[in-house]
Amino acid sequence: PTALLWFRRDLRLSDHPALVAAVEAAGADGAVVPVFVVDPRLWEPSGRPRRQFLRDCLADLREQTGGALVVRSGDPARVVPDLVRETGAESVHVSFDAGVYGRARDTAVERALGDVPLVRTGSPYGVTPGRLTKNDGTPFKVYSPFARAWRARGIHSPAPRPDAVPWAEGLRSEDLPPAQDLDGTQLPPAGEAAAHDAWALFREQRLAGYADTRNLPGTAGTSRLSPHLKYGTLHPRTLVAEAEPLAEDHGEAVERFVGELIWRDFYADVLWHRPDTAHAAFNPDMQRMRYDTGPVAEEHFAAWAEGRTGYPIVDAGMRQLHGEAWVHNRVRMIVASFLTKDLHVDWWRGAVYFHDHLVDGDIASNHHGWQWVAGTGTDPSPYYRVFNPTRQGQQFDPDGTYVRRWVPELRDVPDRYVHEPWTMPGGPPDGYPAPIVDHAEERQVALARYQAVRDA
Ligand code: FAD
């Protein structure tokens, strides 16, 4: 028989349960049709970094399938059934998609396929969203108990890579989607081999120090695997399986690293249970939070987006976003706090801006990362947590390495002024702005607005 393997966020051949299922369905003398559908509903709203990275992943996958990958564009509810008719496929294999759009799309495709089954095997997560619940059957709302349950349950071992896949040959394919003009943004190499190289580099050189360096944006201390996890050129199962043997020597580091992968699963689980939180506050009370709008808020938003707020760590973070389409986690928190609590702009606008510009942009991790910082989300003690951008800079980038890398105007500023250049005798260096707001004052405004929500 012929089996169709529809790739989505699983652009790899190793540790791929749906591929294993497709090969089994094809049997000894059948064929597997590998297909990727360029769906305008996902492609059009994607920012250029993600389009380019996806394109590069597809180029790699095409090579890995010996040129067999079939690329077609259009609505999957039309394209996939058409390809089934064209090839006589008896089953369509996918990894389960827990996303808000992906769920609806898969239901539509399933209906359009009629008698041909859409077989879901595996998901992009360690634990498939929706599987872990509290003892009373309700969803987890807080990370720590979710993480305990996740660790207690354990996750599957990696799926074996099939020795040889009988790829179907000679089907019509469109060209890959067009290369994007990235305007100088530097992306990491994409594809399965690149993902494994990044993982090997991290595992061998950085993982041991992860617990100490993961919060230092000036140090290459984290894995930078987020775009690979986003597009599934690597699966978290592989990471956990290969990290755990290192726990004997580097227990805390491995636990921390796995803990971050659990955050990813947690947010996907939250979004699965609460699809509305892609737009609305997870904590319904926080729908009442008052944000600024109008010309001043627009000016503030533009200054934030362009990295000219006068707060060095904030500006460095936003410039890293444009330079690399990626931002260090500590700095994502700092810039998100600044937009929502110092500039009082709705978290949703920041989340959309991030999502457009990040190469790892992902609704679950991004929108819930924003909600966590904004105090509208799953943080169990959200009130009064207002990041001080100067203190954060001094604590996590003590000698200003990170700031100097991204804000050249501050390259020659002495260490003690690098996070508060407005205190320099004579003011900040030419070309670098004075702070657009006073943090101490805006902190009070933010706290008063939180209090108003609580009092209501
Ligand atoms: P590492 O420290 O090496 O962690 C390993 C992996 O664990 C990451 O690749 C990621 O998949 C996962 N992970 C780590 N931290 C988190 C976290 N807090 N939440 C969820 N997963 C995590 N992550 C995205 O993948 N896409 C996003 O769009 C995204 N937006 C964010 C927005 C905000 C405001 C915040 C605060 C965080 C966001 N994150 C997002 C989470 C986190 O910042 C990135 O996953 C991390 O910086 C990626 O770098 P890394 O691969 O080197 O991480």
333: Cβ below 6 Å to ligand 1?
yes
**Per-residue pLDDT at 379:** 87
206: Cβ below 6 Å to ligand 1?
no
pLDDT at 383 over 80: no
Secondary structure class of 169 (helix, strand, coil):
coil
Whole-model pTM: value is 0.98
The residues spanned by each domain of the chain are 2-123, 192-273, 284-455
Q: What DSSP designation does 284 have?
A: G
- Atom 20 of ligand 1, nearest CA residue: 264
Q: How many Cα atoms sit within 13 Å of 144 on the Cβ side?
A: 3
Judge contact between 73 and 174, C-beta under 8 A. yes
**Per-residue pLDDT at 109:** 98
Structure tokens at 437: 């707001």
pLDDT at 382 over 80: no
Other CB atoms within 10 A of residue 297 CB:
16
Ligand 1 atom index nearest CA of 327: 47
- What distance in Å separates the CA atoms of residue 133 and residue 201, rounded to the nearest whole number? 35
Centre of ligand 1 to C-alpha 125, Å, is: 14
pLDDT at 381 over 90: no
pLDDT at 165 over 90: yes
What is the sign of the dihedral through the CA atoms of 58, 60, 62 and 65?
A: negative
407: Cβ below 6 Å to ligand 1?
no
Ligand 1 atom index nearest CA of 226: 9
pLDDT at 142 over 90: yes
- Atom 9 of ligand 1, nearest CA residue: 226
Ligand 1 atom index nearest CA of 333: 36
**Per-residue pLDDT at 456:** 86
pLDDT at 23 over 80: yes
Centre of ligand 1 to C-alpha 224, Å, is: 9
CA 269, 21, 91: angle at the middle one, nearest 5?
100
- Atom 32 of ligand 1, nearest CA residue: 366
**Per-residue pLDDT at 105:** 98
Centre of ligand 1 to C-alpha 397, Å, is: 19
- Atom 45 of ligand 1, nearest CA residue: 226
pLDDT at 384 over 80: no
16: Cβ below 6 Å to ligand 1?
no
In tens, the pLDDT along 255-287 reads 999 999 999 999 999 999 999 999 999 999 999
- Among 213, 237, 254, 264, the mutation site with the greatest number of ligand 1 atoms within 8 A of its Cβ is 264
**Per-residue pLDDT at 101:** 96
- What distance in Å separates the CA atoms of residue 234 and residue 194, rounded to the nearest whole number? 10
Q: Give the pLDDT mean for 364-380.
A: 95
**Per-residue pLDDT at 3:** 98
Structure tokens at 298: 């627009």
- What distance in Å separates the CA atoms of residue 63 and residue 351, rounded to the nearest whole number? 35
- Atom 46 of ligand 1, nearest CA residue: 329
The pLDDT-based confidence of 380 (bands split at 50, 70, 90) is confident
329: Cβ below 6 Å to ligand 1?
yes
pLDDT at 104 over 90: yes
% of the chain surpassing 70 pLDDT: 100
In tens, the pLDDT along 175-214 reads 999 999 999 999 999 999 999 999 999 999 999 999 999 9
Q: How many Cα atoms sit within 13 Å of 175 on the Cβ side?
A: 3
- Atom 2 of ligand 1, nearest CA residue: 222
222: Cβ below 6 Å to ligand 1?
yes
The pLDDT-based confidence of 124 (bands split at 50, 70, 90) is very high
**Per-residue pLDDT at 353:** 98
Tell me the three-class secondary structure of 423-456, residue by residue: HCCCCCCCCCCCCCCCHHHHHHHHHHHHHHHHHC
Give the architecture-level CATH label for domain 2-123. Answer: 3-Layer(aba) Sandwich (3.40)
pLDDT at 398 over 80: yes
Centre of ligand 1 to C-alpha 411, Å, is: 28
Fold classified for 192-273: 1.25.40
Q: Average pLDDT over the chain, rounded to whole?
A: 97
ipTM of this model?
A: 0.99
Centre of ligand 1 to C-alpha 365, Å, is: 7
pLDDT at 55 over 80: yes
pLDDT at 351 over 80: yes
Judge contact between 97 and 10, C-beta under 8 A. no
The pLDDT-based confidence of 440 (bands split at 50, 70, 90) is very high
- Among 203, 226, 282, 313, the mutation site with the greatest number of ligand 1 atoms within 8 A of its Cβ is 226
The pLDDT-based confidence of 307 (bands split at 50, 70, 90) is very high
Amino acid at 311: Y
Centre of ligand 1 to C-alpha 391, Å, is: 22
Q: Which CATH class is domain 284-455?
A: mainly alpha
As beta bridge partners, residue 120 has 94
- Among 229, 321, 329, the mutation site with the greatest number of ligand 1 atoms within 8 A of its Cβ is 329
The pLDDT-based confidence of 409 (bands split at 50, 70, 90) is very high
**Per-residue pLDDT at 229:** 98
